[in-house]
């Protein structure tokens, strides 16, 4: 799988240039709400419970100001990714203790024909391990620039 293939899972309605949430729980709630208002998922509580459960196993803050909360849920019709930026930074109990500025929320159904879920998580981790990609993401403020960053 190539990083370009991921662009199909991003949605303009799920792009948040300036997160309001100040805590991990608030940000998870805020991004999950985007899935509801964008009509991608109907059950807010179910998804949020799943995300909290995932965080209880270990933080999804992978370091360098990045968090990739993720999970499969029966409530999701297809693999979809929300993106949010926080200029202030959010405490996420990340591996390196740093506050989180870039959040990718990856929601997948229980089963997908192409099985893109785990490869997508892997590609995101790989892409975000590069400092230049993180810096570019921090500089963008609209969905078109965001998508083109992943299309190069």
Partner 1 sequence: MKNELEILVALQDLDLMLKELDEVRQLGFDVRSEGEEALAKAREELVGQISKPLLGNYERLRAKYKRAIVPVKGDTCLGCFMKLPTYLLTHMQRDQRVINCEGCGRILYWLK
User: What CA–CA distance (Å, rounded) separates 71 from 32?
Assistant: 12
Instruction: Report which of 12, 40, 39, 53 is spatially closest to residue 107, judged by C-alpha positions.
Output: 40
List Cβ neighbours of 46 (8 Å cut-off, separation of 6 or more). Answer: 73, 74, 75
CB closer to partner 1, 77 vs 89: 77
In angstroms, give the least distance from the CB of 141 to partner 1.
Answer: 28
Q: Which residues bind partner 1 (CB under 8 A)?
A: 39, 42-43, 46, 49-50, 53-54, 56-62, 68, 70-75, 77, 95, 109-111, 118, 121-122, 125
In angstroms, give the least distance from the CB of 20 to partner 1.
Answer: 26
CB closer to partner 1, 61 vs 65: 61
CB closer to partner 1, 49 vs 145: 49
User: What CA–CA distance (Å, rounded) separates 145 from 117?
Assistant: 24
CB closer to partner 1, 68 vs 82: 68
Buried b (16+ CB within 10 A) or exposed e, 75-102: bbeebbbbbbbbeeebebebeeeeebbb
In angstroms, give the least distance from the CB of 52 to partner 1.
Answer: 10
In angstroms, give the least distance from the CB of 99 to partner 1.
Answer: 16
CB closer to partner 1, 30 vs 55: 55
Contact 17, 92 (CB under 8 A): no
In angstroms, give the least distance from the CB of 18 to partner 1.
Answer: 26
């Amino acid at each position: 799988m190539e990083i370009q293939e991921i662009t199909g899972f991003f949605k303009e309605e799920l792009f948040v240039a300036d997160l309001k949430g100040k805590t991990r729980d608030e940000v998870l709630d805020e991004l999950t709400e985007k899935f509801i208002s964008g009509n991608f998922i109907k059950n807010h509580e179910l998804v949020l419970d799943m995300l909290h459960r995932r965080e209880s196993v270990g933080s999804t803050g992978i370091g360098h100001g990045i968090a990739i909360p993720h999970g499969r849920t029966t409530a999701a019709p297809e693999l979809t990714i929300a993106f949010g930026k926080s200029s202030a930074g959010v405490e996420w109990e990340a591996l390196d203790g740093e506050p989180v500025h870039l959040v990718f929320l990856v929601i997948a159904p229980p089963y997908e024909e192409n099985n893109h879920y785990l490869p997508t998580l892997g590609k995101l981790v790989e892409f975000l391990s590069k400092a230049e990609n993180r810096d570019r993401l921090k500089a963008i403020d609209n969905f078109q620039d965001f998508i083109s960053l992943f299309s190069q």
